[in-house]
Chains A and B, each alone.
Chain A
Amino acid sequence: IAGITQAPTSQILAAGRRMTLRCTQDMRHNAMYWYRQDLGLGLRLIHYSNTAGTTGKGEVPDGYSVSRANTDDFPLTLASAVPSQTSVYFCASSRRDSTDTQYFGPGTRLTVL
């Protein structure tokens, strides 16, 4: 692995289903982030983690949960997907906090029907 990876690349999901988006980084970065990107709205922070074992809520956390059991992995779970969660999801990491450069994964395109 080189950098930050996400899986799946894309997914079509029925409303009401549970879904976990995976994110893994090999840069030993302390901070990790989940964003959603919708046309015309820019990137919006869903959840973040400043270090393993801690998480925090961003601008749009409702309907999403995260965990940070170790430094490398930061999965995002949609407990019961709704159509408004149709979006492109980006995971990112930075060495320490948001004053450091964030490195982004390739994104997951999620469609909820």
Chain B
Amino acid sequence: GQNIDQPTEMTATEGAIVQINCTYQTSGFNGLFWYQQHAGEAPTFLSYNVLDGLEEKGRFSSFLSRSKGYSYLLLKELQMKDSASYLCAVSDSNYQLIWGAGTKLIIKP
């Protein structure tokens, strides 16, 4: 079966750095996405990785290792507005997105 694993919940302090991990087992791989979802709102796109390595975009970075079936999202200089759920999703061999259950990130002052 296809599976995406992420921690259910993480807590971090304002101004700090947090790393959210995602491991996947899918039939084929056509890229990995990270989305942010604030409570009661729709998911919004953060990043897309299809090749191994680190993609940096401002305070957010995303890393991919296809051989290990592993990705992480790195958030730097945490702000209170970063409190949200972070969703990992993989495009499989049928070009359908398989979604993880999401990681709820709680930021404390």
Contacts and interface: CB of A to CB of B under 8 A. Distances in A.
B84 interface: no
A104 B44 contact: yes
Nearest to A6: B42
Interface in A81-113: 90, 97-99, 101-107
A48 interface: yes
Nearest to B97: A98
A53 interface: no
Interface of A: 33, 35, 40-45, 48, 58, 90, 97-99, 101-107
Given A103-B45, A106-B42, 6 more contacts: A35-B99, A42-B4, A43-B43, A98-B95, A98-B96, A99-B31
Contacts of B79: none
A58 B30 contact: no
Contacts, number: 51
B97 to A, nearest CB: 5
Contacts of B50: 99
A44 B43 contact: no
Contacts of B97: 33, 43, 45, 98, 102
Nearest to B2: A59
Contact of A48 (B42, B43, B48, B96): B96
Given A99-B30, A99-B50, A99-B91, A104 B99 contact: no
